[in-house]
Amino acid sequence: MTFAFGHLIGAWILGKIYEKVKSKKLSHVTWGFLLLGSILPDADFVIDWVIGTNLHRTFSHSFLFVIVTGLLVFFIAKYFTKEHKEIGIAIAAGIMMHLFLDYFSVLGVALFWPYQLYFSPFGNMYQPVLNGLTFGSLEELKLSVKLAVVDMGLGTLWIGYLWFRKRIQF
């Protein structure tokens, strides 16, 4: 299970690989949409929490979401900037990185939502929709807290790295 910083780091690595391979720097706006895309699928956690639904890992963790969001951002950005192609691709790439990282969790990802077939390296399985904020046992809660702490550590290391390389200042 990957949390916010893990998803951001995954998208950052993807952006850096793109810059290296293409020998082209991404603009700040493109970076923003790439990083936004990497955490956007987990916005359903907020909906689950506020409304009390069971949406986590459904529509927002599917190929349909990648396509709809990428096209929506592309067409809206078309009226505001010449970078609309890059921005549409960047948000879609960020979402795809999120799905790739979540693929490696035990729960898997519903890539072809609305079908309840969840994909993970641990096998394809049908499973009921799970509430992202509900834990089945105390052990699952403890594991999630430990993973969240690891995620915060990754975030701290990432920010420390950026500070050390003088990419950000406090």
Mean per-residue pLDDT for 35-63? 80
The answer to whether the CB of 99 falls within 8 A of the CB of 111 is yes
Beta bridge partners, 126, equal 117
Residue 1 pLDDT class (50, 70, 90 cuts) = low
The answer to whether the CB of 91 falls within 8 A of the CB of 36 is yes
Residue with more model confidence, 168 or 152? 152
Residue 167 pLDDT class (50, 70, 90 cuts) = confident
Kindly list the domain boundaries of the chain, sorted by start residue.
4-132
> What is the rounded distance in angstroms from the CA atom of residue 157 to the CA atom of residue 28?
22
Rounded to two decimals, the pTM is 0.76
> What is the rounded distance in angstroms from the CA atom of residue 42 to the CA atom of residue 57?
8
